[in-house]
Amino acid sequence: METRTVVIVEDAADVRDALTLIFRQAGFRVHAVGSGAEGVRAVRDHQPQAMILDIELPDIDGYEVARRVRLFSNTYILMLTARAQELDILLGLEAGADDYVSKPFRLREIRYRVEALLRRPRIRSDTPDLTASPLQDAESIESSQFTPAMAEQRTPRLEHNGLRMNLPARTVEVDGTEVRLTASEFDLLRALLESGRTVRAKEDLAAVLRGGQGGNDGFGRESDEQVVQVHIANLRKKLGDSAADPRWVETVHGFGYRLAAAKAVAPAVGH
């Protein structure tokens, strides 16, 4: 079995040492550093499956580290933040993070969240020169309500209201223009497209982001749902969608989200 590698970027030595210990006990190869620049180099040098990234660093902040890493790596990024406000979370996810945990945290929760990220396909749609194969796409698991047999029967393309999703290539176009999405945004949009007008609860969509797995020991249910909300907000922003008059993502207040109703396409006007 291939040894998994994690890079930890945390300037507080006691936190860094505790995280190093728990991941080594779990069988990971660990590279722990105390600054953002060292973190970028560590990812480039060691090509980890996951990165644990503190936002508050002595040189460049975690947002900038994530942006630089995303130029060359598809590693999963779990951000550690003392700020749980939605704007700060949105900035982290927009920079390329896949998940976040607010301080103070439990060490077992960090390990659980990294394990959850690693259950998802590693090919991302926002990383240059990385293309998923049809086999990798077919093996991805979105939700417990979809069976493997159903996955094999899926069309390689999904279309709705001028949006086209190519599943094998993991690309999205809106009115013929490509929109670059993160892996999390792509997975959530795909789940909604495949579900049609069936409402997907926030908890259900959080399971999509955990590779189809349910919660564990009650860790982070509220946090998971907040991640979904922020990813959905960021997805709408990139698509140019409106929560008030949705073209693709419709909010069902108090429950979750579903695909917006089909809209008539205006006929082309001749000149």
Average pLDDT, the chain: 81
In this structure, is residue 172 part of a structural domain? yes
Residues 54 and 157 in one domain: no
pTM: 0.62
Residue 187 lies in a domain: yes
Q: How many domains does the chain have?
A: 2
The reply to whether 216 falls in a domain is yes
CATH number of domain containing 94: 3.40.50.2300
Q: Which amino acid is at 247?
A: R
The domain boundary, picked from 55, 88, 118, lies at 118
My answer on whether 143 and 233 are in the same domain is yes
Residues 138 and 255 in one domain: yes
Which pLDDT belongs to residue 147? 38
In the predicted model, what is the mean pLDDT of residues 219-243? 82
Do 140 and 68 share a domain, yes or no?
A: no
Identify the domain containing residue 53 by its residue range. Answer: 5-118
CATH of the domain at 171: 1.10.10.10
| pLDDT one-digit tens code per residue, 32-70 | 999 999 999 999 999 999 999 999 999 999 999 999 999
Who has greater pLDDT, 50 or 91?
50
- Please give the residue that has the higher pLDDT: either 147 or 197: 197
How many Å apart are CA 38 and CA 203, to the nearest integer? Answer: 36
Q: Which residue has the tokens 């946090």?
A: 223
Please check the confidence at residue 15 and state whether its pLDDT lies above 70.
yes
68-82, 84-98, 162-176: segment of lowest average pLDDT? 84-98
Instruction: Report pLDDT digits (tens) over 148-160.
Output: 334 434 458 999 9
Please give the average per-residue pLDDT across 85-100, as a whole number.
79
Cβ contacts of residue 79 below 8 Å, gap of 6+?
53, 54, 55, 62, 66, 92, 97, 99, 100, 101
Residue linked to tokens 């505790």: 18
The phi, psi pair for 80, rounded to 5°, reads -105, 125
Q: Could you tell me if residue 127 is inside a domain?
A: no
What is the percent of the chain with per-residue pLDDT over 70, rounded to a whole number?
77
Q: Looking at the structure, tell me whether residues 141 and 113 fall in a common domain.
A: no
